[in-house]
Structure 1
Amino acid sequence: MTRFIHDQFAKQYLTELLISYGQIEMSKDITSEVRQIDVLFTPASPFPDGIESLGLLGRMAKNSSYTIFEPFRNAVSKSEIRSCMGKLFDIHADLERQTKRNNTRINEEELPYLWIFTPTASADILESFNFTLDEENWGKGIYFLGKALKTVLIVIHQLPTTPETLFLRVLGRGKVQRQAVEELEALSENSPFLTNIIQLVHDLIAVLSARQEKEHDIDQDDQELIMKLSEMYEQQLAEIKKQEREEGVLRERRAMIESILQVRFGELDSELATIIDQVIAMTREEFTPLLLQLSREELLARFTN
Structure 2
Amino acid sequence: MKKTKSCCICCYYELDENFCAVAPSYIGKAHICADFELGIELDEEEEPIDLKKFTYEQFSKDYLEKLLSPYGKIEAERTLTTSPVRDIDLWFAPSVSELPKELGLLARLTKTRTLLEPYHYPVTPDEIRASLIKLLEVQGEFSRAAEREKVQRAESDSPWLWILTPTISEETLMGFGAKESIDEETGIYVMPPALLTGLVVIDELPLSNQTLWLRLLGRGRVRHQAILELVALPAHHSLRSASLELLYNLPSHLEALPEKDDEEHLLMELLS
TM-score when scaled to structure 2?
0.78
Q: 2:151 aligns with which of 94, 104, 111?
A: 104
Q: Residue 53 in 1 paired to residue 102 in 2?
A: yes
Q: Select the structure of larger CA radius of gyration.
A: 1
Counterpart check, 1:197 vs 2:243: yes
SS at match of 1:189: coil
- Report whether the alignment pairs 1:71 with 2:118: yes
**C-alpha contact (below 8 Å) 2:163/2:198 kept by paired residues:** yes
Q: 1:21 aligns with which of 65, 68, 71?
A: 71
Structure number with the higher strand fraction is 2
Q: Deviations over 1:1-50 (max 9, x none)?
A: 11111111001100111111111101000111311111111111x425x5
SS in 1 for 2:244: helix
Q: How far apart in 1 are the matches of 2:101 and 2:242?
A: 19
CA contact (8 A) 1:11 1:39 kept: yes
* CA offsets 1:106-163 (integer angstroms, 9 cap, x no match): 311100000000000011111111110123x102100001111000011000010111
CA contact (8 A) 1:157 1:176 kept: yes
Q: Which runs of 4+ in 1 moved over 6 A?
A: none
Q: 1:192 Cα deviation (Å)?
A: 4.8
- Structure 1 residues 101, 192: CA separation in 2 closer, same or farther (over 3 Å shift)? closer
Task: Give the superposition deviation at 1:228.
Answer: 2.1
Aligned letter for 2:263?
D
Equivalences, count: 221
Please name the residue that 2:263 is paired with.
Answer: 221
Cα distance in 2 for partners of 1:51, 1:31 equals 32
Q: CA RMSD in A?
A: 1.4
Kindly indicate which of the two structures has a greater share of residues assigned to helix.
1
- Separation in 1, partners of 2:70, 2:232: 22
Contact 2:76 2:91 in 1 (8 A): yes
Q: Which amino acid letter does the alignment assign opposite residue 146 of structure 2?
A: T
Correspondence 1:40 to 2:91:
yes
Structure 1: which 5+ runs fail to align?
231-305
1:7 corresponds in structure 2 to 57
1:275 equivalent in structure 2: none
Paired-residue identity, %? 37
Cα distance in 1, alignment partners of residues 156 and 54 from structure 2: 34
Deviations 1:240-266 (A, max 9, x none): xxxxxxxxxxxxxxxxxxxxxxxxxxx
Q: Alpha-carbon deviation of 1:76?
A: 0.2
Contact 1:21–1:47, Cα closer than 8 Å, also in 2: no
Query: What is the rounded CA distance, in whole Å, between the counterparts of 1:218 and 1:89 in structure 2?
Result: 37
Q: Measure, in 1, the Cα distance between the counterparts of 2:134 and 2:165.
A: 17
1:289 maps to: none
